[in-house]
Structure 1
Amino acid sequence: MVAFEVRWCALGGGPTETIMADFGMDASVSFRHLAEYLEHSPPTPLRPDLFECMTAVARQRLWLAA
């Protein structure tokens, strides 16, 4: 999921259809999992700018889904 988001982060996350096809879950569920993962156990080799981008995208997508 992190590798997917690294690829799509600059574009606002991945398309809902692609997330469903790749992970078998709704985009909001995917972004909730990603936000929780980044908050509790962020991957250490992840560059700070990518971490911030991924966190911002996850929060934005969750906000849009609400």
Structure 2
Amino acid sequence: MQLIDNWRRAHRFSSMRLMALAIVFEGAQALLDLVGWRFMSPSWQSAVSIGLVMAAMAARLIAQAKP
């Protein structure tokens, strides 16, 4: 496995930001489920998670400006 040349600036990539948002969303949903709060239905939760991951995948395909 070889890292990309500018791996230290990867946090600026839109795909990395979208994946971080997906992680935060899933973590928030898990915490809300632990305390018994329901922010959205499980089907909507899955749809939002899948949508964020798909957006991150699409962002990797689009040429991005050099950071």
More helix by share: 1
More relative contact order in 1 or in 2 (CA 8 Å, sep 6+)? 2
So what's the TM-score if we normalise by structure 1?
Answer: 0.39
So what's the TM-score if we normalise by structure 2?
Answer: 0.38
